[in-house]
Amino acid sequence: MLSALALLLASAGVIYFSCELFVNGVEWLGRRLRIGQTATGSILAAFGTALPESVVTLVATAFGAEAAQKEIGIGAALGGPLVLSTIAYGVVGLCMLLYGRRLGRQLVQADGRRLSRDQAWFLLIFAAKVGLGLVAFAWKPWLGWAFLAAYAWYFRGEMQGSDTEEEGQPEPLALRRHAAVPGLFWILLQTLAATAVIFAASRLFVGQLETVGRGLGLSPQLTALLFSPIATELPETMNAVIWVRQGKERLALANISGAMMIQATIPTAFGLFFTPWRLDAPLLAAAAVTSLSILLLFLAFRSGRVSGLRLAQSGWLYGLFALSALLLT
């Protein structure tokens, strides 16, 4: 138990420092590719951090030998958006409360119109995803292509969008600190290496979390439902801490928003392709809390004035889910 706790803390530390290298590299990558900062966060950063979870869902649903393994994949497709919409946004709010005085502002700098639009589209896609989990019909697997098309549409819109404001220059690339403009090779090397370490450390974190859960007497299902999504979405949360600390809330929020759109579409497509895609009571509870959080975020971003406290309040909704999960399992 003690060794599992030590490895848990060590892997969390590795993830954080790897995220430092990742966000540094991905900012430079976006600049070299002439991609706006919002698209850098919502596409490049989100793809790098959400891809490992999507691969895990693909492996669990397509190659899982038992029904329980396929159910883990379905749970991952629901758990990711839950954690991002509650804990990740809540962490952004907490960081604003911590760093707001140093940054000289209490309100979050964000493109409220763009973010509220993202929340609305996510809620629409998420409602379709949950609705399909309540019914059964022969051609349901074919609808997986519709979710892939939805992400392709989102990708195209983000890449064609333009930023109205930049949030300062990237910090010097860690691998080339004395280069005013580092070469693309070094940018890619740092970004891809950091992504690989994040992936490996996240897998270790998940494994140790399951060990700790067993040590606390929690069932594997409850451990997977409550804690595994937190582990898999840890990179996005760490990115948010780093970017808010640097005064780049737009990048932090774009990263979370982009990761949520990936989680709403690509893992869902895999689930529809390879499983019956039926949702049980705990997963429906996760879906209900996620929808409530997204609705509140939509209203917050639409108002155009989002304080750190308002975002921080998203975090308590995960506690609501945890309570409901304990009652339903």
pLDDT at 4 over 60: yes
Q: Phi and psi (nearest 5°) for 307?
A: -90, 160
Nearest in space to 206 (alpha carbons), one of 326, 81, 76: 76
Calculate ∠ Cα 271-275-280, nearest 5°: 85
Q: pLDDT of 117-141, one tens digit each?
A: 889 999 999 999 999 989 888 888 9
pLDDT band at residue 213 under the 50/70/90 scheme:
low
pLDDT at 290: 92
Q: pLDDT of 165-196, one tens digit each?
A: 555 677 788 888 887 788 889 888 988 898 88
pTM: 0.83
The amino acid at residue 237 is T
pLDDT at 67: 63
pLDDT at 28 over 80: yes
pLDDT: is 11 or 123 the higher one? Answer: 123
pLDDT band at residue 283 under the 50/70/90 scheme:
confident
Work out the widest C-alpha separation in the chain, in whole angstroms. Answer: 60
User: What CA–CA distance (Å, rounded) separates 302 from 63?
Assistant: 42
305 in Cβ contact with 316 (< 8 Å): no
User: What CA–CA distance (Å, rounded) separates 261 from 289?
Assistant: 17
